[in-house]
Amino acid sequence: MSNDKTKPRLRFFENAAGQQHIPEKDKYLYAVTPPTHRLAIIGTGTIGQEHMRVARLLGRAAVHGIFDSEQRSIDVALANFAALETGLPEGQRHPVPIVYPSLDSVCNDPAIDALMICTPNYTHFDVLQVAMASGKPIFLEKPMATTLSDAAATVALARSYASFVQIGLQYRYKAQYVESLHEALTRKSVGEIRMISMSEYRPPFLDKVGQWNKFNDQSGGTLVEKCCHYFDLINLFAGARPARVYASAGQSGVFDALTRDGRKSDIDDNAFVVIDYDNGCRANFTLNMCSPDFTEELCVVGTKGRLIASERFDMHHAQEAKTSLSLELGEHGASREVALGYASVIEKSGHHGATYFEHAAFLDRLEGLGGNAATPEQGLWSMLVASAAQESSKTGDAVDLTGFIAANGLAEALGVSTVSD
């Protein structure tokens, strides 16, 4: 079997019924290198199952075991994982993941090489502390915590950790944002970036076990729970510290009838956020959860031109996401518009392929190859903007981040030597 990672992966042929007569000893292009790492997935809900699916597709690591406090989630995850094996050649099938009886047992099994925490937001910090006792590499889903104090504590723990912690801000790996970051920051195609605008129009948050994502204290609030993805991207494009945040957010009645244990859902379902950066760059973000389909847009304007990246996912017509990037340079250079996307099998695996490449980055780091992945510090910066926006929407006033950082005791965690620098 070949271990050459540079050869193409021909899934169409290697899994085709008409190609199964090729014996193992003659497989070269069809040969699949066995996984070299063993993962544990902690939390087997929607995103946990996506990580199981993506790890299986990538093939560099096997899902050795899983843990969840909900038996139904475990049963469904195992059934869906088994379906991935259906029709595969015998040599490509993976063993059924072990179901661990406790969090301690899954974290401390020496057979496990790395841990992936995919539990509800409000459990992240507690689960992380148990996981870190293992000394193993850890992937922690976004947001890293539901409060700034727990996020800052996570940063402090990660800095002294013998291994590493990667934060699951996987929108960095969406095709349109990978290309946009390259154009704007590496090629500097639009010149010095002056303004950034992002938007997400989408249906309401989907159902969760216990509906934890509909309550501020369990999710961290809408702008923390989901929109940390966008604030992470905006921070990357701005290349500077956020200095001032103003937001207006509210409820459109989407979850008015939803209650749990006598409590009514209290999350916002729409928002406008404006961010000033200390280098003079300005940004804004729009969220709306009353859309029938998913649409995202990024606009970056610089001294030499404008970049627009968009993604539309028309789920009602069962169409795959349509993603594009437009570069408008006027007299500064060649303008163009291109369609973007990953291989279909990758795009269908989760978040339009972003999770697949997020896994690749995690495994690269596991193998000592480096890689560009979200750090706990960057996760905290994304939460800082989100939390300041939620504070602003409550008070009606803009939030000065110098004072906000000081009031929340975040200077050390953010690497700010003085709150005034």
* 92 shares its domain with 209: no
* 129 shares its domain with 38: yes
What does the alpha-carbon distance between residue 81 and residue 52 come to, in Å, rounded to a whole number?
7
Task: Tell me whether residue 361 is in a domain.
Answer: no
Task: Tell me whether residue 159 is in a domain.
Answer: yes
The closest alpha carbon to 363, from 38, 31, 112, belongs to 38
Q: Does 204 have pLDDT greater than 50?
A: yes
| Count of CB atoms situated within 10 Å of the CB of 99 | 16
Domain encompassing residue 394: 171-344+376-414
* 225 shares its domain with 318: yes
Grade residue 5 by pLDDT with cuts at 50, 70 and 90.
low
- Percentage of the chain surpassing pLDDT 90? 87
Task: Tell me whether residue 365 is in a domain.
Answer: no
- Last-in-domain residue among 170, 201, 235: 170
* 387 shares its domain with 293: yes
pLDDT at position 420 is: 47
140 neighbors 146 (Cβ within 8 angstroms): no
405 neighbors 242 (Cβ within 8 angstroms): no
What does the alpha-carbon distance between residue 246 and residue 359 come to, in Å, rounded to a whole number?
34
Q: Where are the extended beta strands (E) located within 23-111?
A: 37-42, 61-67, 98-99
In angstroms, the Cα distances linking 358 to 51, 174, 205, 256, 372 are 10, 9, 22, 35, 9
- Last-in-domain residue among 170, 205, 224: 170
Q: Of 123 and 372, which is predicted with more confidence?
A: 123
Query: Containing H/E element for 399?
Result: strand 399-400
pLDDT at position 372 is: 86
| Residue 219 burial (C-beta neighbours within 10 Å; 0-12, 13-18, 19+) | buried
- Last-in-domain residue among 170, 198, 226: 170
* 196 shares its domain with 212: yes
CATH number of the domain residue 51 falls in: 3.40.50.720
pLDDT at position 417 is: 63
373 neighbors 141 (Cβ within 8 angstroms): no
Average pLDDT, the chain: 94
pLDDT tens readout for residues 146-194: 999 999 999 999 999 999 999 999 999 999 999 999 999 999 999 999 9
How many domains does the chain divide into?
2
* 192 shares its domain with 263: yes
* 278 shares its domain with 133: no
pTM assigned to the model: 0.95
Q: Does 375 have pLDDT greater than 80?
A: yes
Residues 6+ apart with CB under 8 A from 200: 226, 227, 230, 286, 287, 288, 294, 295, 296
Task: Tell me whether residue 380 is in a domain.
Answer: yes
pLDDT tens readout for residues 278-329: 999 999 999 999 999 999 999 999 999 999 999 999 988 888 889 999 999 9
